[in-house]
């Protein structure tokens, strides 16, 4: 069993990745925004943080991981 952290887990691709890794017996932590209403099956750990704000990520990954998957997408662009 691998420990997997998946960023962007509330999006279309991220949701499918989380479910696939869990179905294959991996321990999955799903990184979602604090305002996300996404739900997952029992056994999938939700990590609520804003990926663009490092201070919200502090302490979330202290247990380590074998894989980190990013399905983060741009939903709004601030630089024009």
Q: Beta 27-32 vs 3-7: how paired, if at all?
A: parallel
Phi/psi of residue 13, each to 5°? -65, -45
Residue 17 domain flag: yes
Give the CATH number, domain containing residue 19: 3.40.50.720
CB atoms within 10 A of CB 47: 16
Residue 53 domain flag: yes
Residue 41 domain flag: yes
- Nearest to residue 72, comparing CAs of 21, 22, 30? 30
Residue 79 domain flag: no
Residue 77 domain flag: no
**Total number of domains constituting the chain:** 1
User: What pLDDT is recorded for position 63?
Assistant: 84
Q: How far is CA 2 from CA 22, 24, 26, in A?
A: 10, 10, 5
Instruction: Report the pLDDT averaged over residues 28-50.
Output: 93
Residue 15 domain flag: yes
User: What pLDDT is recorded for position 62?
Assistant: 87
Range of the domain at 53: 3-70
Residue 19 domain flag: yes
- Nearest to residue 44, comparing CAs of 59, 24, 64, 74? 24
Residue 11 domain flag: yes
Instruction: Report the pLDDT averaged over residues 4-16.
Output: 94
pLDDT digits (tens, 9 = 90+) for 62-75: 888 999 999 998 76
């Amino acid at each position: 069993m691998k420990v997997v952290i998946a960023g962007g887990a509330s999006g279309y691709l991220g949701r499918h990745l989380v479910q696939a890794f869990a179905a294959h017996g991996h321990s999955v932590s799903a990184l979602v925004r604090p305002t996300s209403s996404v739900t997952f099956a029992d056994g999938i750990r939700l990590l609520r943080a804003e990926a663009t704000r490092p201070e919200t990520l502090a302490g979330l990954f202290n247990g380590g991981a074998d894989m980190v998957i990013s399905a983060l997408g741009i939903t709004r662009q601030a630089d024009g």
